[in-house]
Structures are given as C-alpha cells and as structure tokens.
Amino acid sequence: MHGYGVSAGPSTVIRIENVAKRYGNITAVNGVSFSVEEGEIFGLLGPNGAGKTTLIRMLTTLTRPTAGELFVAGYSVRKHQVEVKKRIGVVPQQNNLERELTGRQNLLLHALLHKVDRAERNQRINELLEYVGLQDRADDRVQNYSGGMARRLLIARALVHRPSILFLDEPTIGLDPQTRRKIWDLIQIMNRDGVTVLLTTHYIEEAESLCHRVGIIDYGRLIALGTPSELKERLGNYCVEFLNERGTERHFFATRSEAQEYAQRKDCDTVVRRTNLEDVFVELTGREVRESDAS
Ligand SMILES: Nc1ncnc2c1ncn2[C@@H]1O[C@H](COP(=O)(O)OP(=O)(O)OP(=O)(O)O)[C@@H](O)[C@H]1O
Ligand SMILES: [Mg+2]
C-alpha cells in the first residue's frame, strides 16, 4: 500500500503535506498542504515568484522538497519516481520542444522515451494531432509554429503515454484571448475524458472560469483554498468600488441590495459589481495579482 496519510479521501490523486523548498536564502515554497481529487481541474493562482513552478517541479519529480511529502496517483514522489512519471503528463512553463524537429517527430520522440507500444504509436500520435487541431501542420518544423500552436503541441506531447494526471504550468501565458479560449476548451475536453488537471496561472479569468477549485499562493504560502464561488462568497458576493484620495476603495456585501444601499449613501461616483477572484487576492495580500507581472 502507498498510503496518503490520514485526511485524504478515497479519490485523492495529489496530496501535498507540509512541503517546503529552499534555495539558499530564498524560500520558494513555505509549508504548503492541500490535495486534489480525481476528476478535478485545480488551479494554483498567484503572482510572479509565488512558488507555483517550484511546486509543479516537486510534484513532477524534477526537484526534491527541502521538507514535507508529496503523493501523486497514490505513490510517494520521493520513493516511487518511476511509477509517478508513468502516470503524469507535464506541460512546462517554458517551451522545451525540439525546434528543429516537426510536430509529429516531437510526439514520436516522446512516445519512444515513454516506451509506447510500436503497434499503437502512430495511431496515438495521429489521434492527438487531430485532438489539438495540428494535423495540417504536423510535418512542419516546430520553429515555424506560432505560440498557440507550440502550446497545443506541448499539450499533445504530455498526453502521448495516456497519463491520468496532467500538470500544466501557465498553459496560456502570452497567448491572445482567442487562442487562450481554445486551450481552455482543450483542457475541459481532456478533463471530461477523465484526466485530472493541476494548472498554475496568474490570470484571474483562467482560474475563475476553468477551475473547479483554486488555491491562492503568495510568497510560497497557500493563503486561500476553495471553489471560486466559495472564495468570493467569503468576501461578499457584491462589491462597491469608488475612488478617493487614497486610491480605489472597495467594500463587500452579501447581497446586491445591501451594496446598492451603501452606494446610495456615498456622495461620490460608485460602481456596484459582482466580486471576482482579483478582489479576493487583493483583500488577502493588499496587492494585485499582476502588479509584478513581467510577461
Ligand atoms: N533553481 C532555483 N534557484 C534559485 N532560486 C529559485 C530557483 N527556482 C526558483 N527560485 C526562486 O523561487 C521563487 C519561486 O519561483 P517560482 O518559479 O516557483 O515562482 P512562480 O510562481 O512559478 O513564478 P512565475 O509566475 O514568474 O512563473 C522565486 O523567488 C525564484 O527566484
Ligand atoms: Mg512559474
């Protein structure tokens, strides 16, 4: 048996227990615990440098934690790296495709590395090229791909060996809104086909519209965890926003009528709107998610 520890449910597929990672003086991840259930799309939302990639690298066997334990698909990542690797797909933040090779050749290379059956290989690759809409460009070199095409190929590559858990690090970073939506569709289709997804993002809309549950991470710590609606409801589902000499001020209310009542009493211009995850982040940290965004 590869026990998860006491508080995991029967369908927990990722479990992180008190994990920390230090690089010299820098604490990239600082005592994080949470778990992901089978069938979820789970999002780690946080600003640049929050520790998102470091967490993904630990979960996917690429780096070891300084403290704590990680379990993936029922296996301790520390003890059973090979078993874990067989069951996961990884879409890294940085494109690490072979640029000189074609899309198809990149997938074939991955199939060989993962020892996908010769009999199955070509069919699987064709199926995936179609799945991500690259069948027409499959035999072009990757160096001639657009950013969106490269991202779709990275997703296809991650799926070649039929993983049950997929890790996507910033799957839509740098993509235009239309391409971003296509990637969201693809993630949802994969999820419906039975793949559990853990992704990282610093895009509020991505966390809000794509993820069943969200963990907000800041300075290496998990500062909130829940469904997008739970997180917003904790703050109050309606927001009154106005400008004053200190900048933008926001107040939160459970109902629209309470918010409107408050707004009417103010003698300045106000906006009454629904609360969003950006508000949740700002209230918890005093900063905006994209304040330090360099991308
Ligand atoms: N190999 C490394 N050596 C030293 N410091 C590192 C290393 N990898 C990450 N860090 C540091 O750990 C912290 C967290 O980095 P990480 O890449 O995990 O953040 P992130 O949330 O993925 O950020 P981004 O949104 O910019 O991708 C940063 O301060 C970073 O400089
Ligand atoms: Mg990162």
Note whether residue 115 is domain-resident.
Answer: yes
Is the pLDDT assigned to residue 2 strictly greater than 60?
no
Tell me how many domains the chain contains: 2
Burial 170-196 (b: 16+ CB within 10 A, else e): bbbbebeeebbebbbebbeebbeeebb
The better pLDDT of the pair 211, 7 is held by: 211
**pTM (two decimals):** 0.91
Asked if 108 and 167 sit in the same domain, the reply is yes
Per-residue pLDDT band for 174 (boundaries 50, 70, 90) equals: confident
Asked if 156 and 237 sit in the same domain, the reply is no
Note whether residue 191 is domain-resident.
Answer: yes
Query: Of 212, 230, 248, at which residue does a domain stop?
Result: 230
Q: Which residue has the tokens 């993002």?
A: 201
Per-residue pLDDT band for 170 (boundaries 50, 70, 90) equals: very high
Res 8: pLDDT: 59
Pairing outcome for strands 12-23 and 41-45: unpaired
Q: Are 157 and 97 in contact (CB under 8 A)?
A: yes
Asked if 103 and 129 sit in the same domain, the reply is yes
Q: Which residue intervals of 141-274 are DSSP H helices?
A: 147-159, 177-192, 204-210, 228-235, 256-265
Between helix 103-113 and helix 147-159 the angle, nearest 10°, is: 30
Note whether residue 290 is domain-resident.
Answer: no
Asked if 168 and 130 sit in the same domain, the reply is yes
Asked if 50 and 156 sit in the same domain, the reply is yes
Asked if 220 and 253 sit in the same domain, the reply is no
Asked if 208 and 136 sit in the same domain, the reply is yes
pLDDT in tens, 107-159: 999 999 999 999 899 999 999 999 999 999 999 999 999 999 999 999 999 99
Distance CA 198, CA 44 (A): 8
Structural domain of residue 100, as residue ranges? 12-230
- Tell the residue nearest (CA) to atom 2 of ligand 1: 23
Res 5: pLDDT: 43
Note whether residue 7 is domain-resident.
Answer: no
Q: How distant, in Å, are the alpha carbons of 53, 233, 263 from that of 152?
A: 19, 34, 46
Q: Residues of the chain with pLDDT > 70: what percent?
A: 94
Query: Of 183, 204, 230, at which residue does a domain stop?
Result: 230
Is residue 114 left, alpha or beta, with left meaning phi > 0 and alpha meaning psi from -120 to 50? alpha
Measure 29 CA to ligand 1 centroid, in angstroms.
9
Least confident of 1-5, 167-171, 205-209: 1-5
Asked if 120 and 265 sit in the same domain, the reply is no
Note whether residue 2 is domain-resident.
Answer: no
**Ligand number, closest to the Cα atom of 26:** 1
Name the residue of 19, 21, 53 whose CB sits within 8 Å of the most ligand 1 atoms, as the mutation to test its pocket. Answer: 53
Q: Is any atom of ligand 1 closer than 6 Å to the C-beta of 46?
A: yes
pLDDT in tens, 75-108: 999 999 999 999 999 999 999 999 999 999 999 9
Q: Is any atom of ligand 1 closer than 6 Å to the C-beta of 63?
A: no
Beta-carbon contacts of 215 under 8 Å, excluding residues fewer than 6 positions away, are 34, 42, 43, 44, 45, 222, 224, 225
Q: Are 263 and 273 in contact (CB under 8 A)?
A: no
Asked if 280 and 169 sit in the same domain, the reply is no
Q: Is any atom of ligand 1 closer than 6 Å to the C-beta of 93?
A: yes
Note whether residue 257 is domain-resident.
Answer: yes
Pairing outcome for strands 196-201 and 41-45: parallel
Average pLDDT for 7-16: 82
Distance CA 279, CA 239 (A): 9
Asked if 224 and 235 sit in the same domain, the reply is no
